[in-house]
Amino acid sequence: MATGSSVIAPERTLVTSRVFDAPPERVYKAWTDPKQLARWFPPEGFTAPVCQLDVRVGGTMRIDMKGPEGEPFKDRLFPGKGVYREVVPNRRLAFTFTPEMEGQAMPTLLMTVEFEDQAGKTKLTIQQTLDTVAEYEEMVKTGMAEGIAESLGKLAGVLSGRSTDRGVFVSGRQLTITRVYPAPRDLVWTAYTDPKHIVKWMFAADWEAPFAETDVRPGGAFRIGMRPADHSEEGFTFEGSYREVVKPERIVQDVGDGRVMTATFEEVLGGGTRLTLSLEMARDELNERTGWTQILDNLAKHVATLTGARR
Q: Which domain holds residue 132?
A: 4-159
* Same-domain status, 174 and 296: yes
* Same-domain status, 171 and 34: no
Last residue of a domain, one of 159, 187, 221: 159
Burial of 5 (0-12, 13-18, 19+ CB in 10 A): exposed
Tally of domains within the chain:
2
Last residue of a domain, one of 141, 159, 177: 159
* Same-domain status, 104 and 233: no
Q: What is the pLDDT of residue 309?
A: 53
* Same-domain status, 14 and 148: yes
- CATH number for the domain spanning 189: value is 3.30.530.20
Instruction: Give the other-Cβ count within 10 Å of 237's Cβ.
Output: 14
- pLDDT tens digits, the chain, 311 residues: what are they? 343 347 779 999 999 999 999 999 999 999 999 999 999 999 999 999 999 999 999 999 999 999 888 777 788 899 999 999 999 999 999 999 999 987 888 899 999 999 999 999 999 999 999 999 999 999 999 899 999 999 999 999 999 999 999 999 999 999 999 999 999 999 999 999 999 999 999 999 999 999 999 999 999 999 999 999 999 999 999 999 999 999 999 999 999 999 999 999 999 988 899 999 999 999 999 999 999 999 999 999 999 999 875 54
Distances 73 to 46, 66, 70, 106, 132 between C-alpha atoms, Å? 10, 9, 6, 16, 27
* Same-domain status, 174 and 148: no
Q: What is the pLDDT of residue 102?
A: 79
Contact 181, 303 (CB under 8 A): yes
Last residue of a domain, one of 109, 138, 159: 159
* Same-domain status, 173 and 238: yes
Contact 63, 84 (CB under 8 A): no
Peptide bond into 72 cis (omega under 30): yes
* Same-domain status, 172 and 151: no
* Same-domain status, 298 and 174: yes
* Same-domain status, 58 and 189: no
* Same-domain status, 172 and 264: yes
* Same-domain status, 132 and 113: yes
* Same-domain status, 115 and 184: no
The residue type of 12 is R
